[in-house]
Chains A and B, each alone.
Chain A
Amino acid sequence: MEHIELLFKSIFIDNMVFATFLGMCSYLAVSKKVTTANGLGAAVIFVLTITVPLNWLLDTYVLQDGAMKWLHPSFEEYNLSFLSFILFIATIATMVQLVEVVVEKFSPALYNSLGIFLPLIAVNCAILGGSLFMQSREIPSLELAFTYGIGSGIGFWLAILTIAAIREKIRYSNVPPPLRGLGITFIITGLMAIGFMSFGGMLTGGDEAPQGTVKEIVLESENDELGDEGDQTVLDTNKEIE
């Protein structure tokens, strides 16, 4: 249940592209054709599934406050969390190179379809963002980190695939010249993001379920007091909007 909820949440509600704007650069640059978009999306799923759990291990056993205790009791007072940026990005860059080498050796077909995108991915914000959100949302276990990685990847794949399909079709439409290309893509993405916002209410409306059956996964700090006061929070935000 936890896993399904987290998967749903990371694909739709906290969609990498539409909710947090991660991976926008490659999303805009590689979405001119459906086939290339599909390749990049698959590569992102692949790399996120590997790097998020790896960085979870790194975060839990090396970086957090007192995380090095397992090595020796005297290491308990070390807090290395300021190093997380550099270690995460090093992990991602090395993993991407490693994956590239391994895939090239064992599956030339897969390498031909993913190959050109792999180096691009090392500097894709979506990959580092996945790890950083995993850290800041305090994903509790390795399995959940794995689910989160897959979910975020699928979210990105879905987004880039849909925008590529729309961009292929929009070539036949009469867009005002200054908006052609980049401008209209921005506006369509904005409209799609509004659409994806409607998923936002789906998990907070779980009050009908008997208490205790639905476990709340705490993803964001402001979601902390959700649950009983969930409706209250929604009301408050509505008020602000009005």
Chain B
Amino acid sequence: MGLLSKRDSKLILDPLSDNNPITIQVLGICSALAITAELEASVVMSIAVLFVMGVGNVVISLIRNIVPSRIKIIVQLIVIATLVIIVDLVLKAYAYELSKTLSVFVGLIITNCIIMGRFEAFALANGLWRSFLDGIGNAFGYAVILVIVGFFRELLGAGTLWGYPVFGDAIDKTGLYAWGYENNGFMLLSPMALIVVGIIIWIQRSKSTHLIED
């Protein structure tokens, strides 16, 4: 890459695989599980987190030298909360139905551990450009898992992708349903999100064995 040095591109690529925020760092699970019943909600949530993380990391990195450490957490929370309010208002204005589906989980981006975790671990100690890259990279790592989980849950649970029927019509028995295929409604229920993430972790760790815990 011409634009990024090797060290910088590592910041973006690492969270996608070996340092994934969800499957390895165990951050930001709450929202990853709760809203992944549909692909569309997963993608919108990912974009929201991408925005908050990118901008938030830059702001924290800018003010990291003037904030006393005693009030650090409150300042960070205020920065995130402001960004999340922006996201929430934009969603309410342009995608009202979707903001109903996401309900409180947009607000819960504030306490999404990915954001606080990366602020603490990275943005407080690094410069502006690298913090921005780190934010973007981790948000992409988060998005990858969200999209995979959302994809399988919607496909197997409702037989649709982004709201469009893929396998044919379940009620008129066309397409795959004519052959006796049935949607697995259980995939839409929340416990299956946990199990799907569990399986992703399983696959990832059997491929890269150095990640296996004790």
Contacts and interface: CB of A to CB of B under 8 A. Distances in A.
Whether chains A and B associate is yes
B108 A177 contact: no
Interface residues of A, number: 51
Nearest to A238: B185
A109 to B, nearest CB: 25
A185 B89 CA distance: 36
A93 interface: yes
A136 to B, nearest CB: 6
A90 B205 contact: no
Interface stretch (A56-64, A122-130, A146-154, A223-231): A122-130
Nearest to A182: B201
Contacts of A84: 107
Interface in B171-201: 185-186, 189-195, 197-198, 201
Contacts of B189: 197
Contact of B190 (A82, A186, A193): A193
Contacts of B110: 85, 89, 128
Contacts of A20: 34, 190
A125 B34 CA distance: 12
B60 interface: no
Given A85-B84, A86-B85, A122-B73, A129 B104 contact: yes
B135 interface: no
B27 interface: yes
A242 B84 CA distance: 38
B186 A25 contact: no
Given A20-B34, A179-B201, A85 B185 contact: no
Contact of A93 (B23, B77, B82): B77
Interface residues of B, number: 49
Contact of B29 (A21, A133, A180): A21
A232 B206 CA distance: 46
Contact of A86 (B82, B116, B205): B82
B85 A182 contact: no
Contacts of A83: 85
A135 to B, nearest CB: 8
B95 to A, nearest CB: 17
A25 B26 contact: yes
A123 B116 contact: yes
10 pairs of A and B residues whose beta carbons are closest in the complex: A181-B213, A190-B194, A186-B198, A178-B205, A241-B185, A193-B191, A24-B29, A132-B104, A190-B195, A25-B113
